[in-house]
Amino acid sequence: MAAFPEIHRIRRLFVNAYLVEEEDGLTLIDALIPGSGARILAAAEKLGKPILRIALTHAHGDHVGSLDELATALGEVEVIVSVREARLLEKDSSLEPGEPQERVRGGLPGARTKPTRTVEAGERIGSLEVVACPGHTPGHIAFLDLRDRTLYSGDALITFGGVTTAARSNRLFPVTTHFTWHRSTALESAKALRALRPARLASGHGRVQEAPGAALDRAIARAERS
Ligand SMILES: [Zn+2]
């Protein structure tokens, strides 16, 4: 294996999933829109390793769309979601006491597939560390690859049309903000992700951004002004 793992992005329309290589196989981050199973399996086949784990950043339909399809095709696969987001994956969007009492937005189609593991911040999934970044959804998580500090940020930070936060996205791709549950929480999470000093940003929408620090600072400043 190379010193720094390669980024394997799988695109469908404007949505990204990623295959993360580990010694024993692959971790798939997010599951695209429905009907993407064949594309994801073909990408894994190209890498010559099995998908052992599916780790979800959040439960929006464009990130879990092919989960059932993949779980059926793979047979045995670990399905990992945050403790809080697991309820959204069951289409239960009721809020918890202490949370901002705002309606959870965006499509939550749920899945027949049940998580085999629920995680909280600080837990490890192979080389990935789970980072809590609520705001876009209540239980949104990101994954920091500790080998090279690639941050798989889901929709907490996106890169489509430039680096933006879920608190305030750009005109090119406004849907992330539109479907964000709670903006000031999303802004706090963006700052927490920035503090991790990611070496590259692999987000749910847009291309991989190398050395995103300065662009992230600008995006956070812009969101703070709004
Ligand atoms: Zn989303």
pLDDT computed for residue 169 by the predictor? 78
The fourth-level CATH superfamily of domain 8-225 is Ribonuclease Z/Hydroxyacylglutathione hydrolase-like (3.60.15.10)
Residue 129 alpha carbon to ligand 1 centre in Å: 20
pLDDT band of 3, cuts 50, 70, 90: low
Q: How far is the CA of 5 from the centre of ligand 1 (A)?
A: 26
CA 2–ligand 1 middle distance (angstroms)? 32
pTM of the model: 0.96
Domain boundaries, the chain: 8-225
With a cut of 90, say whether residue 59 has pLDDT above it: yes
What per-residue confidence (pLDDT) applies to 154?
Answer: 98
Average pLDDT on 36-41 reads 97
How far, in Å, from the CA of 33 to the mean position of ligand 1? 12
CA of 118 to the centre of ligand 1 (A): 19
Centre of ligand 1 from the C-alpha of residue 59, in Å: 7
Model pLDDT, residue 177: 83
Q: What is the pLDDT of residue 99?
A: 96
pLDDT digits (tens, 9 = 90+) for 131-180: 999 999 999 999 999 999 999 999 999 999 999 999 987 777 777 788 99
- CA 109 to ligand 1 centroid distance, Å: 12
Residue 1's pLDDT band, with cuts at 50, 70 and 90, is: very low
Report how far residue 72's alpha carbon sits from residue 81's, in angstroms, rounded to the nearest whole number.
18
pLDDT band at 43 (very low <50, low <70, confident <90, very high): very high
Contact 43, 26 (CB under 8 A): no
User: Across the chain, where does the E strand assignment appear?
Assistant: 8-12, 15-21, 26-29, 51-55, 78-82, 117-119, 124-125, 128-132, 141-145, 150-154, 157-158, 164-165, 200-203, 209-210
pLDDT for the residue 156:
97
- Which is nearest to 202 in space by CA: 156, 159, 140? 159
- For residue 154, report the distance from its CA to the centre of ligand 1, in Å: 7
Task: For residue 2, name the pLDDT band (cuts at 50, 70, 90).
Answer: very low
Whether 50 shows a pLDDT value over 90: the answer reads yes
Beta pairing, strands 117-119 & 128-132: unpaired
Question: Separation of 176 CA from ligand 1 center, angstroms?
Answer: 6
